[in-house]
Structure 1
Amino acid sequence: MNVNWQGVYPAVTTQYHDDMSVNLEATQHMVDSLIKEGVDGIIVLGTVGENCSHTQEEKKAILIAVKEVVAGRVPLISGVAETTTQFAIDYSKMCEQLGIDGLMVLPGMVYRSTEAEAIAHYQQIARQCGLPIMIYNNPVTYGVDVSIDGMRILAEEPNIVAVKEATEDTRRVSELFAAFGDRFIVFGGVDDIALESLMLGCTGWISGLTNVFPQESVAIYKLAREGRFQEALEIWRWFLPLLRLDTIPTLVQCIKFCEQLAGRGSEVTRAPRMPLVGSERERVEQLYNQAMATRIDLAKFNLD
């Protein structure tokens, strides 16, 4: 497949009303703002989008609403996070019918798969859906690592075109390129090692904190791609305390709280996620306020 996925792809949040119902208008507004501020693609209904907190009817409504506002300006990829392989196939076919551009497929939810089971899961989805697929490899969160040998099996599926590498081990990025050359598009998938991943050759960055600071994220990517690493480091070091929020269990609440502080969205999440309270809430607010107080003027980097 000839798929050109590169750049900064925020894993966008899903916005809710105070009664926990999906706020499609606010979700559309948030996505539109991100595109206007320069992101290169949109990941909807990933972990940050609280995929597993929605009914299938809600997921379909979210996909339709986001596709409408994206309007072909950037690639639109949907997370696939279902409890069984058949449910994932059904969902993937729905995405294909709705005209979504691609899929970011997670292993089966709830049940912790072996590597062989995860590979079979990905194979079956790929063989029954025509969309390009990105493998989301996140052993820290989902308990299964698709190894280089596993990716060698998946390389036989022509529509598996990319991997979101989130092992937290940057050596895996180099191992993927050493084993497969340019067979897979490789995205960095952990916010606080994103710059290192870009330096090692990743063609993109899938990010949670980009929802809060999209222009800084895009600037880091552009500078890294141009080899202007010293300049990228200035923004990176400013951003890093916030980026670390992407690696903790409450990442969704942290990101949505920062969105609220920035006037970009609401912190409301669906149970079992609960709002941040006490010292954790205070710490996130302090990190956000510190970032705002020391925010870098991006104009000095002369980026297009």
Structure 2
Amino acid sequence: MNFGQVVTAMVTPFDNKQNVDLNKTTTLIEHLIHKGSDAIVVSGTTGESPTLTKEEKLTLFEHCVKVVNGRVPVIAGTGSNNTSESIALTKEAEKLGVDAIMLVTPYYNKPSQRMLYEHFKVIAQETSLPVMPYNVPGRTAVNMQAETTIALSKIDNIVAVKEASGNLEQITKIIAETDAGFKVYSGDDSLTLPIVAVGGDGIVSVSSHIIGEEMQEMVTAYKNGNIVEAARIHQEILPVIQGMFSAPSPSPVKAALQLIGVDVGSVRQPILPLTEEELAYVSSLVKQTS
């Protein structure tokens, strides 16, 4: 399974009553594919997965598979801090035709490295789909160490990792000590170029909703040996990336999408819409990209 180099962690569009809006989802998918997304993650953190019901997630998976129609891989966010529930959701997602699954490290219950390994192993054994674990200690209170990821990479259908530890030493070790076919993606937009520079494959991105083409150009430039050009693009887009995380995600990126004419609605509590001051800041950045 080739996920490409810019994967978008898609927001979940809502209507004005906070229900999942499938028509807006269709429009968003077309926007993302047009703007350079090589794959999309549905119902990840950026998709406000903690506030989505199981039924809403399954509806989104089914709808996205239908709309995408094989043009890019659809990666379903089926992970949680409950192993048996993750297995059940993964099995249902597989029946709906998704191309792969993303599994976040279990949050709140703070498992050991041995427990992390067994969690991912048992879920992977229950599906034939490619699996991408997602290490994000800033949100889960647990860091999956390089040795654990390396061990998991030896399981046939664990084919990639989304690494949002921000630890370049850890990420470099994973890249160095896994087989060439195992893909390592940055989980931090601002570290896309540094991680590609140490041998990573690309980014699972929030900012690509707005600057997907620029991120594609940056990664392609680096891989083609145009290092100065890649650095220039990185420097140019970094303020936009920072703006997308200037308030709890996905509030800034949803606001930015509205500003460029892609209506995805608002956010669900506990996340709140941007304040007027925050919106003015995001607006100033979006204007620079147009």
Confirm or deny: 8 A CA contact 2:9 2:40 kept in the other structure: yes
CA–CA separation in structure 1 for the residues paired with 2:129 and 2:92: 11
Q: Does 1:56 align with 2:54?
A: yes
Alignment deviations for residues 136-194 of structure 1 (CA, whole Å, 9 cap, x no partner)? 01112211111122123313321111111111122223211222241521111100111
CA drift of 1:16 comes to: 0.5
SS of corresponding position for 1:134:
strand
CA drift of 1:106 comes to: 0.6
SS of corresponding position for 2:58:
helix
Aligned pairs (5 A) from 1:183-222: 183-222=181-220
Aligned pairs (5 A) from 1:283-302: 283-289=281-287, 291-292=288-289
CA drift of 1:237 comes to: 1.4
Q: Partner of 2:90 in structure 1?
A: 92
Confirm or deny: 8 A CA contact 1:189 1:206 kept in the other structure: yes
SS of corresponding position for 1:9:
strand
Q: Partner of 1:116 in structure 2?
A: 114
SS of corresponding position for 2:122:
helix
The equivalent position to 2:26 in structure 1, one of 28, 39, 44, is 28
CA–CA separation in structure 1 for the residues paired with 2:154 and 2:64: 32
Q: Partner of 1:233 in structure 2?
A: 231
SS of corresponding position for 2:252:
helix
CA drift of 1:6 comes to: 2.2
**Which consecutive residues of structure 2, in runs of 5 or more, have no partner in the other structure?**
none
SS of corresponding position for 2:12:
coil
CA drift of 1:36 comes to: 2.3
Alignment deviations for residues 228-255 of structure 1 (CA, whole Å, 9 cap, x no partner)? 1211222221210121245566121011
Aligned pairs (5 A) from 1:1-304: 3-247=1-245, 250-289=248-287, 291-292=288-289
Q: Sort the Cα spacing of 1:111 and 1:249 in 2 relative to 1 into closer, same or farther, 3 A.
A: farther
Q: Sort the Cα spacing of 1:192 and 1:111 in 2 relative to 1 into closer, same or farther, 3 A.
A: same
CA–CA separation in structure 1 for the residues paired with 2:267 and 2:245: 18
CA drift of 1:83 comes to: 3.8
CA–CA separation in structure 2 for the residues paired with 1:188 and 1:156: 20
Q: TM-score, normalised by structure 2?
A: 0.94
CA–CA separation in structure 2 for the residues paired with 1:101 and 1:30: 19
Confirm or deny: 8 A CA contact 1:5 1:204 kept in the other structure: no
| Letter in structure 1 aligned against 2:152 | L
CA–CA separation in structure 1 for the residues paired with 2:261 and 2:110: 37
Please report the RMSD computed on the Cα atoms of aligned residues, expressed in angstroms.
1.8
Confirm or deny: 8 A CA contact 2:243 2:281 kept in the other structure: no
Confirm or deny: 8 A CA contact 2:186 2:202 kept in the other structure: yes
CA drift of 1:110 comes to: 4.0
Q: Sort the Cα spacing of 1:157 and 1:249 in 2 relative to 1 into closer, same or farther, 3 A.
A: farther
SS of corresponding position for 1:160:
coil
Confirm or deny: 8 A CA contact 1:118 1:144 kept in the other structure: no
CA–CA separation in structure 2 for the residues paired with 1:37 and 1:242: 16
**Which consecutive residues of structure 1, in runs of 5 or more, have no partner in the other structure?**
296-304
CA drift of 1:271 comes to: 1.1
CA–CA separation in structure 2 for the residues paired with 1:142 and 1:229: 34
Q: Sort the Cα spacing of 1:162 and 1:246 in 2 relative to 1 into closer, same or farther, 3 A.
A: farther
SS of corresponding position for 2:191:
helix
CA–CA separation in structure 2 for the residues paired with 1:170 and 1:192: 12
SS of corresponding position for 1:227:
coil
- Give the number of equivalent residue pairs: 290
Identity across aligned pairs (percent)? 29
| Letter in structure 1 aligned against 2:201 | T
CA–CA separation in structure 1 for the residues paired with 2:263 and 2:230: 27
Confirm or deny: 8 A CA contact 2:136 2:164 kept in the other structure: yes
SS of corresponding position for 1:251:
coil
Q: Sort the Cα spacing of 1:225 and 1:275 in 2 relative to 1 into closer, same or farther, 3 A.
A: same
- Comparing 57-66 with 226-235, greater Cα deviation is found at 226-235
CA drift of 1:75 comes to: 1.1
CA–CA separation in structure 2 for the residues paired with 1:44 and 1:5: 14
SS of corresponding position for 1:212:
helix
